[in-house]
């Protein structure tokens, strides 16, 4: 039996969608940057509409902010909600100690 292979982009989307399943009503969610987080942000917006969830998002980049607004996710800040229930983000590399390397660094100051 040959398991179905998926592209890197499909794997990112699958990871994002699985992570979004962990979100519950009332959560404050960190919204990461990059393509994996973008899939998650879109799915969060879909779940909010479909399931009538009340969720607030804290974006780590301008791009995440704009996508959250487009997805109708209410925005808050770390000043207003310093404790997050979950954060969804991607990484380009991870080692055996779970150290992560992020992308090109465009959003690192906010992340």
Instruction: State the catalytic residues.
Output: 111
Query: Rounded mean pLDDT of 20-49?
Result: 96
CATH number of the 22-101 domain = 3.40.50.1360
Write out pLDDT tens, residues 66-82. Answer: 999 999 999 999 999 99
Its pTM stands at: 0.84
pLDDT band at 5; cut points 50, 70, 90 = confident
Instruction: For residue 42, count other CB atoms closer than 10 A to its CB.
Output: 19
Say what the pLDDT of residue 93 is. 80
Pairing of strands 56-59, 28-31: parallel
Contacts of 22 (CB under 8 A, 6+ apart): 86
Contact 30, 86 (CB under 8 A): yes
The domain spans of the chain are: 22-101
* CA distances for 52 relative to 5, 24, 31, 45, 72, angstroms: 34, 11, 19, 10, 12
């Amino acid at each position: 039996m040959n398991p179905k292979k998926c592209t890197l982009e499909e794997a990112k989307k699958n990871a994002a969608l699985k992570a979004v399943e962990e979100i519950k009503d009332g959560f404050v969610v960190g919204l990461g940057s990059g393509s994996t987080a973008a899939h998650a942000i879109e799915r969060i917006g879909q779940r909010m509409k479909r399931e009538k969830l009340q969720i607030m998002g804290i974006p780590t980049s301008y791009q995440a902010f704009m996508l959250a607004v487009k997805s109708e996710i209410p925005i808050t800040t770390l000043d207003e909600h310093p404790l997050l229930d979950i954060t969804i983000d991607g990484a380009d590399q991870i080692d055996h100690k779970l150290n992560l390397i992020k992308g090109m660094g465009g959003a690192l100051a906010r992340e």
